[in-house]
Amino acid sequence: MLLAIDTSAGTSVAVVDLARGVIAEHATDDTMRHAEVVGRLIADCLSDAAVPISGLSAVVGGMGPGPFTGLRVGIAAARVFALGAGVPFVPVVSHDALAFARYQDGHTGPLVVVTDARRREVNWSVYSRADAVGLPIRVDGPGVARPAVLREPDWAHAGVPRFDAVAVSAGELGQVAELMWAHQRPFAADTALYLRSPDVTVSNGPKRVS
């Protein structure tokens, strides 16, 4: 049984089991209050699922892509919770959860998943299909670009069906992790997919006053 946390768009937390599916899930689409709500959502999910911390086998963290500030909140929360619970931290690409859901809903063939990267850019990932166990096969990305680039006829994946998502479900993230675990598929690298530098910069030091 897994606790899954994703803050690559809004904030989503879920308790997931391979056999039982999504047992509990709480989320908000608010993209500005990740740190304020993630603790409450974790507590609500564990309470609704009636699962003690000792009943968890791992904690899943959505690694993005996503904006720097929001994404790091969820990854930090997942890592710290896993450390405190004495269970592994499992990294999963957030876009893989979105593609998984589309294929589960009946989509077949290639797919482009797109999310808001802010600063008038989007994050994208390209998938060829779902494999025999339902896991999406990513063939390109994640990447970041201006929206117009994805509409250009000479873009490498022009014409591929596109799915624009406003939020990532931690329930779907957890289901991807459960399938990867059960079928011994490699997890994502334990590196946040920011894809660009953060909006803040290091100061050059105090300004001289004349």
The reported pLDDT for the residue numbered 69 is 84
The reported pLDDT for the residue numbered 205 is 61
Q: What is the pTM of this model?
A: 0.92
Tokens standing for residue 111 = 């797919």
Long-range CB contact pairs, 183-192, < 8 A, 24+: 183/133, 183/135, 185/135, 187/90, 187/91, 187/92, 188/63, 188/91, 188/92, 188/93, 188/96, 189/63, 189/91, 190/63, 190/89, 190/91, 191/63, 191/91, 192/63, 192/64, 192/71, 192/72, 192/75
Tokens standing for residue 95 = 């876009």
Main-chain dihedrals φ then ψ at residue 128, nearest 5 degrees: -90, -40
The reported pLDDT for the residue numbered 200 is 46
Q: Are 78 and 60 a contacting pair, CB within 8 Å?
A: yes
The reported pLDDT for the residue numbered 15 is 98
Beta-carbon count within 10 A of 125 CB: 24
The reported pLDDT for the residue numbered 150 is 96
Alpha helices in 105-169 (DSSP H): 147-151
The reported pLDDT for the residue numbered 42 is 98
**Owner of token pair 């896991």:** 135
The reported pLDDT for the residue numbered 32 is 78
Q: How many angstroms from the chain centroid is the CA of residue 139?
A: 17
Domain at 2-182, CATH homologous superfamily = ATPase, nucleotide binding domain (3.30.420.40)
> In a structure prediction context, what are the per-residue pLDDT tens digits for the chain, which is 210 residues long?
999 999 999 999 999 999 999 999 999 987 778 889 999 999 999 999 999 999 999 999 999 999 988 999 999 999 999 999 999 999 999 999 999 999 999 999 999 999 999 989 999 999 999 999 999 999 999 999 999 999 999 999 999 999 999 999 999 999 999 999 999 999 999 999 998 755 544 556 666 665
> Which DSSP state fits 118?
E
